[in-house]
Structure 1
């Protein structure tokens, strides 16, 4: 037992040492007193420690916690030096219940086989059920194995602390290896029931080799593919720099306050687009503003929102600014971007947020799997996963096994009496002419998994069967915002499945670049050409000008470009030429007589200019520093001090005097020089008296 702030706690000596040292460091850095620091009475794994340091940064700022980080580093090194762990095969403990668990699930498999033999299910259903049974068996053996291991078992400690390995790998050592895939990527029904401690049979060893070889081949390919993805992402986003304070947009996106049962981290790090009030209670609207308009929502504000919304938090949606809605012509504005995640404060004008977004998405790309597991001929389930899926989304390709989308909204009717499944949508709303549109019929193969049920109401663009959506088709049926949010969600699904956390704003920034252009349909009285690809902001500005002059506005259709095409369609021909298809880009630019405004980073690097980011921005280059207080005069020789005092007495106290009369060679106007232009002007030395 240990006494902390007047309370008795049951804890360990290690936790006492850790808490005491960190508290001493924080108090030494002038942050709060002993009452402010709670006692951390839990095991600090790698993830827990990351969270703890994140909380320290949030509460005390990045500069003040350096002392605490130093203490954590010294403590961990000191104790890691004194106490190490070794692992041996005796630490691998196979759970006693394994045989009984396997026998139970084998009986379930036999039942499924009997039902199949009696014709009660299809071949696909049988395969699917057997795979599901063995997956459950593997998980149960794995859970029992973790229960069997002691908390001080070296292998358990190694995985639990986050130092090396995972429980999935320990499961293969002490539990059971589980299901394997064949060279085609289909999951084999026959699992590897043994683990490495017991030893594999020849057949089990042989079916394991497919996955092992594929794993090694994937690792080699993954690094190259991930590197190329990063390069494309950097190229498409390199000119996105924070250029202004506020673009003035009234548009926003709405994000759920609660996601998967916990506060939605995507809301934190953004700016509220309206005043967020307390919810209505007892029929009275809340007057208190929890998150003011144009103010940053950090983690503490997010927690307060969840607390204040209480029972309504699960359904609440918060309107926030997003880069998807930013109206800045070049780059983006501070308020639409929100928090700069590297510092924890608001983004500054000049931050190269595009490059940071590209690196945040590209760098974890090597952690994603390349594997495409197929469920063995089940239609609509052969969906690409891992890195290839991320590339498929960012290149806006028509996905493999794409879902069919509803062309009209209405009520669903399903007829599966024939060899094919017929889905009919009967419209329930009148069209623009005030008439009820004709019903629309869709046919699917019998094995198709439908997402809709009989009598269900669907909207335009809803998926009727399982599968990924074609972003181009979704954009035609719905608005750009729905497409943008779908793409962001799909990328997040892939990264979350591998346990990688990326803030939505990074993905939104790339998606914004993909949907930035529109195709001109009719040019009206504008200076644009039909079929021309232009930035949406440019077209809207042209239309506003024509409207003012009472002319005919241009019409357009939104388009989606993959990141490669978007990079080549950029306004800068220097940037596009240095990316791919150099000859084509340069000849097209020469024919059109293009002008490169040098707005991005790459084009400035190419011609050897300062990049227009951070201190390279013009407004930062025009700064001259003027002293606000008179500079203190120090003397090395007492005689010089005596001479100055005598001179001051001659002039008379309180009268104005010029520095030249002292004969010190100081030139007064030199201290009052106007702002220097880009550092070109230099101070002239004072003339000798």
Structure 2
């Protein structure tokens, strides 16, 4: 009755705890009881149950954000806005973050602080005392705070602008003169681009905070660049993760993205003190990722991809779906729940899933009469 995986786990636990035969049988019976209680009946509307069980507690979520300790001015998305980001599968989230774990040999406060300092991005704007435009000379002048950074900044700017400019360095000044005539607005745009060039650190990591979690020293970042962080020798690539679903999907694949959806949704609910059975979130994550790509729960994702015309029309953009279906000559097979409820037919759930022929007493009498007539 129990799946092989659960039986293997029972065997493993029994060996670890050195259970005798009687205690092992008792454990198996208890697991069976929990397993049978956890199963859903054939025909049960688990989609509706999952939707209700997630959505009703979600109405209690707050709209607020909170400030990240130790990082002034940085707000972290929280509550309902974060849940909307997850289930809408937004590509650009408000606060991308990474939780970076260190390998055993680097699991110290000093190494964690060194890593945190190393990965935070430092742009030209952060290193420059001033950036100005000389209109007459059609040039951009950078004045740096630290003269030791001058050649590094010059090299990055030179690589970025290639052969378009002539760069001269004088003490802590970098003068960028264009070789061609350009309009002032283009010069202004170039100044902004130069100011945003990353000189040190990892592009996208805006801040990093070191904290201890159990025995591990962890670097929590605001901003994310998982691909580059995983290349660092100090980083434990088996534990380090980002809260950006699409980034995880691109770097680690669809299974990892599914796990992030589950973890982030569950954490968001738990932070607000809402107890939702994780199996509902597992089902939702499966629906969002079963195709091998991430789909949102909305008109352009799961809801908009339904085969039923009436079901799509009932969700959003009713007229558009009905007109499009009529042009395409689509047929609604009435195999789902919503469309059958809409037209007053029994929904294909529970007892509505089956078409039964029942032989009553009258039918039995008629059959007996027919058989007796044949005999005569």
TM-score range, shorter chain: 0.5 to 0.7
Counterpart of 1:364 (choices 28, 34, 57) is 57
CA 1:420 to 1:616, structure 2 compared with 1: closer, same or farther past 3 Å?
A: closer
Distance 2:96 2:247 in 1: 10
Paired residues for 1:240-259 under 5 Å: none
Q: CA deviation at 1:395?
A: 0.9
Contact 2:14 2:24 in 1 (8 A): no
Tell me which structure has the larger Cα radius of gyration: 1
For 2:365, the equivalent position in structure 1 comes to 669
1:442 to 2:202 alignment: yes
Higher normalized strand content (fraction of residues): 2
CA 1:606 to 1:490, structure 2 compared with 1: closer, same or farther past 3 Å?
A: same
Counterpart of 2:358 (choices 615, 620, 624) is 624
Counterpart of 1:393 (choices 86, 104, 122) is 86
CA 1:291 to 1:589, structure 2 compared with 1: closer, same or farther past 3 Å?
A: farther
Runs of 4+ in 1 over 6 A off after TM superposition: 280-283, 285-292
Higher normalized helix content (fraction of residues): 2
1:609 to 2:303 alignment: no
Paired residues for 1:394-473 under 5 Å: 394-397=87-90, 398-403=92-97, 414=115, 416=117, 420=121, 442-443=202-203, 447-449=207-209, 450-451=219-220, 455-459=233-237, 462-463=240-241, 469-473=243-247
Structure 1, unaligned runs of 5 or more: 1-269, 305-337, 423-439, 519-557, 628-665, 674-689
Distance 2:338 2:48 in 1: 11
Pairs aligned (count): 258
Q: CA deviation at 1:589?
A: 2.5
Distance 1:418 1:481 in 2: 27
Distance 2:74 2:33 in 1: 38
For 1:229, the equivalent position in structure 2 comes to none
Distance 1:418 1:517 in 2: 35
For 2:274, the equivalent position in structure 1 comes to 500
For 2:324, the equivalent position in structure 1 comes to 588
Distance 2:97 2:247 in 1: 10
Counterpart of 2:12 (choices 279, 285, 307) is 279
Contact 1:373 1:382 in 2 (8 A): yes
SS of the residue corresponding to residue 279 of structure 1 reads helix
Q: CA deviation at 1:582?
A: 1.7
Paired residues for 1:115-514 under 5 Å: 272=3, 274=5, 276-277=7-8, 278-279=11-12, 300-301=30-31, 344=37, 346-375=39-68, 378=71, 381-397=74-90, 398-403=92-97, 414=115, 416=117, 420=121, 442-443=202-203, 447-449=207-209, 450-451=219-220, 455-459=233-237, 462-463=240-241, 469-514=243-288
Root-mean-square deviation (CA, aligned residues, Å) is 4.6
Structure 2, unaligned runs of 5 or more: 107-113, 124-199, 210-218, 221-228, 370-376
For 1:560, the equivalent position in structure 2 comes to 295
Contact 1:626 1:672 in 2 (8 A): no
CA 1:458 to 1:603, structure 2 compared with 1: closer, same or farther past 3 Å?
A: same
CA 1:403 to 1:667, structure 2 compared with 1: closer, same or farther past 3 Å?
A: closer
Q: CA deviation at 1:400?
A: 0.9
CA 1:483 to 1:376, structure 2 compared with 1: closer, same or farther past 3 Å?
A: closer
